[in-house]
Amino acid sequence: MAVRDLNKVILIGNVGENPKLTTTSTGNPVCTFFMATNRTWSPADSTESKEETDWHAIVVFSQLAQICSKILQKGTKVFVQGRVQTREFTADNGEKIRKKEVVALDVIGLDKRKEIKK
């Protein structure tokens, strides 16, 4: 029996900057933003808890990208479900760059509904 692979990410956190809406070379909408997730733990040798923030690059395509660009803003609590993708490209200076990002398939704003920006 073959072993199946799984690439699935579920995050709940806060949008770290206002989303940016662009388009691909074929005209497909793309929305990008960073989101922060926090974790708190207590080290075994201390009574004080510690907190750490992780930042995640999020990419959303098509109609969902347009919706995200209108309803999300810096500070919005958001649920993101998708997959991890690694892109490799060469910068203008010739340096090879590897970037990990979450390609979002579902995005849900968790704050009270705000009016959609027009």
Provide the pLDDT for residue 43: 82
Q: What are phi and psi of 85, to 5 degrees?
A: -130, 140
pLDDT digits (tens, 9 = 90+) for 51-64: 999 999 999 999 99
pLDDT for position 113: 64
Domains defined for the chain, CATH in brackets: 9-39+50-109 (2.40.50.140)
Average pLDDT, the chain: 92
Reduce the DSSP state of residue 66 to 3 states and report it. helix
Instruction: Specify the pTM.
Output: 0.85
**Alpha carbon 75 to its chain's center:** 13
Q: pLDDT confidence of 2, banded at 50, 70, 90?
A: confident
Q: What is the mean pLDDT of residues 22-28?
A: 95
| Average pLDDT of span 40-48 | 83
Answer whether residue 92 shows pLDDT above 70: yes
* pLDDT at residue 38 tops 80: yes
Residue with tokens 């992780």: 54
